[in-house]
Amino acid sequence: MTDVNPILVSQLAGAGLDRREARWLVEEFYDDPVALEAAQKRRLSGEPLQYVLGHWPFRSLDLDLDERVLIPRPESEELVDVALTELAKNDAVTPLLLDVGCGSGAIGLSLLAELGNRGLRASLVALDVSPDALALSRENARKHQLHAVTFVASDWFSELDPSFRGRFDLIVANPPYVSEVAFTELDPVLSYEPRDALVAPDASGVGGFADVQRIIRDAPRWLGPSGVLVLEHGYDQGEAALRACRDAGYRDVRDLEDLAGHPRVLVARP
């Protein structure tokens, strides 16, 4: 933007804000000095920029965001690419998708929007245990006029309608996978995000593995004949995830590595 007020930007930068962020805040709150001052204070006190602005881009969507949900991570944009590639192998024209632990709706709503752009009439079931997260993901669906979504309040698969059994073409998940111990050592800025979106109990001797394990265990009964699970897990949970897949009887399993060479995204077909 060229017409942003340079004097205001310099004032905010002088108060300690990064100059680019100062410009974004001025652009966002240019017509409301009180809101701008409040935003400046929130940002200077360490609150994540995405919450202060109240929205942030994720792939093709501008998602409303606040402290009710995890801030979607750039890695999850790649998870969407993996999901699209895997879905394309199924040749489904009207794919049925399940986003478990949908948070802001970032992953599932992006899939719905992008499949729609490719001429596919996808439907999405988005579930979360947090009513707050569901409320915000509903708002995001409305904002982007994505209507083919059913929202379900559920502790993982427990409240899903049994009529969905054996029907999903894709189950996608970015569940909590940080252990209690690791959480205490992470960047304190994470304390602005809902703890239950990040931290999971340990399982099978692996820190933070309980939710990943449960999703791997329960997904097969909800997947269709050529359905696929695409699931992000912790950088040190690769071996445990592969073991859980073997125990659950998946026949086709890959664990894709991140840029640091850690297995991070499980792609598994039962």
Ligand X SMILES: C[S@@+](CC[C@H](N)C(=O)[O-])C[C@H]1O[C@@H](n2cnc3c(N)ncnc32)[C@H](O)[C@@H]1O
Residues that bind ligand X (CB under 6 A): 69-70, 72, 76, 101-104, 106-107, 127-130, 133, 154-156, 174-176, 196-197, 211
Which burial class, exposed, middle or buried, applies to 167 when counting CB atoms under 10 A from its CB (0-12, 13-18, 19+)? middle
Nearer to ligand X, 12 or 212 (CB): 212
Nearer to ligand X, 19 or 195 (CB): 195
CB of 133 to ligand X, least distance (A): 4
CB of 106 to ligand X, least distance (A): 4
Nearer to ligand X, 26 or 107 (CB): 107
CB of 13 to ligand X, least distance (A): 30
Nearer to ligand X, 29 or 157 (CB): 157
CB of 7 to ligand X, least distance (A): 37
CB of 198 to ligand X, least distance (A): 6
CA triplet 248, 215, 145: central angle to 5 degrees? 135
Nearer to ligand X, 197 or 223 (CB): 197
CB of 211 to ligand X, least distance (A): 6
Nearer to ligand X, 119 or 188 (CB): 188
